[in-house]
Every structure is written in structure tokens, then in C-alpha cells.
Amino acid sequence: MSRLKLYLDLVRFEHTLFALPFAYGGMLLAAGGWPGWPTFLLVTLAMVGARTMAMALNRLIDWRIDALNPRTQNRHLPRGLVKPWETLVLALLGLLLLAYAGLALNPLTARLLPVAVFFLTFYSYTKRFTWLCHYFLGLTIGAAAAGGWIAVTGSFHPVAYWLWAGVGLWITGFDILYATQDYAFDRAHGVQSIPARFGIPRALAIARLSHLLAWGAFLLAGLAYGAGALYFLGLLLVGGLLLWEHRLVSPEDLSRVEVAFFQANVGVSLGMFFFIVLDLFL
């Protein structure tokens, strides 16, 4: 059990709370309610597998960079708490879960598997050559919401696209906030990021713009779906959480980035899911 806890900590399993509620939200919207236990369980397996694979590979790919960075040098691989081969095995187990779920759901999810695996692997390398790395991360994780829709319908739809855009831009915004912590290190070691490229004040402005666009995409998703009043009430509350998140951080004070990163954004994802459920079932 202690080893299992170590592996869960390695991949920051609690951060599944960012994307999983949106995958469930896309699934429920596509079904117009409860999709049945088989679909629910397969979507859950796909999400857990995809995130486990992506995070394990990210830790493995960034191992040397993490060992140099004062903020990350206490992570599992730099400290030797977990071996590289264990991390790779964990990534392969995640891939097996994702592949099983994708093949079992429908023909479109099966055909999209190679695309998903490519982006789940590729985004970890993007910080080595482009400051757009945050948008690659958003594109990759944002697919969770569209994936929930596709899992039910086996097809794309404008609602799925808007949900994908909303989640992707939201992820992008808070990843930029998170990257401000590594501003000095990234500039010194040639790691690409928006804060390192444009400076912290402009990076915070770009994060705010990304979150404004994310809110607009969620609004368009609700309009395209024909959602009820409760969906839009939830969207107003999510907008308030995003405003609070940006009030916590300023160029002069980055001490509350962790609070903004985790607490505010878990509130966004769980809040949107909660109001999607209320809107559908009430």
C-alpha cells in the first residue's frame, strides 16, 4: 500500500479532478442524462489511463530538468524514490487502460487512439522548443470533454468542439500561472514558457485572456446545446472563481500561485460538473 501511495503521488493522481469532471460532463450532455454503467466505467478507465500514462511519461521525460530545478528537485525520480523503469511500467499500464477503453467504446474512439497517445506523449517535449507549450497542454487535456461526448455518440458535434476549446483554454490559463514559479529557472536553462518569453506581467495578462476565452467557449457550448438556466447560473459562478483566481496572483506577489492553481481550478471543474448535472436532471 505504501508503494501504491508513492505511485499515486508520483503522477499527482488528485489532479485528475481537473479534467475528469469535464469528461463526465461531456458524457452526460451527449446522453441527455445517465449513459449507463458500461459507458461510465469505460470513460473512467480511459481518463485514469490517459492521465496516468501522460503524467508518468512527463516525469520520466523531464527527470533531468526536474533534478536541476530547486522547486522540483525533491520529486520522486530525482530523489531516487521511484526507479525510471517503474515509471515506464506505470505509463504502459495507463496506456493499456486507455487502449482497452478506447477499443471497447465505439469505432471513432478506437480510430482516435493513436492521435490521443501521440499528444499525451508529445506535449511533454514542447517546452524544449516553443513557448506555446501551455497551449499544447490545453489542447491535449481539453480533449477529455470532447472524448466524453464521443464516447456516447461515436461522432463529433459543435457542443463537443466548444467544450474542448473551453477546457483547453482554461487548462492553458492556469498552466501559465503555474509556470510563473519557474520564471528565473526557465530563463537560465533555456526552458520555453510564456513567462520566460514575455515576462511575468504579460504572462498573467495572457492567462487572463485565455480564461476569458475559455468562459466564452463554455457559454457557446451551453447555447449550442440548448442548456437550461442552471447551466448558465453555474457558468456565472465559474466566472467568479476565475476572477478570484486572478486576484490571488500579481507580478509583485506570486506566493499564492499554488492556491490559485489547485483550489480555484478544482472548484471550476467540479462546479461546472455539478451544474451540468443539476441542469440535466432538474
Instruction: Find the CATH number of the domain harbouring 225.
Output: 1.10.357.140
Specify the number of domains making up the chain: 1
Taking a C-beta distance cutoff of 8 angstroms, is the pair 200, 178 a contact?
A: no
Rounded mean pLDDT of 149-174?
96
Lowest-confidence region among 179-183, 196-200, 258-262: 258-262
What pTM does this model have? 0.94
pLDDT at 145 > cutoff 90: yes
Q: How far apart are alpha carbons 274 and 231 in whole angstroms? A: 9
pLDDT at 259 > cutoff 80: no
**Band of pLDDT at residue 271, cut at 50, 70 and 90:** very high
What HEC string does 103-121 produce?
HHHCHHHHHHHHHHHHHHH
At 27-38, the pLDDT tens digits run 999 999 999 999
Task: Tell me what pLDDT residue 255 has.
Answer: 85
Rounded mean pLDDT of 161-169?
97
Task: Tell me what pLDDT residue 181 has.
Answer: 93
Average model confidence (pLDDT) across the chain: 94
**Range of 90's domain?**
2-281
Q: What nine digits make up the cell of 164?
A: 474542448
Q: How far apart are alpha carbons 128 and 124 in whole angstroms? A: 9
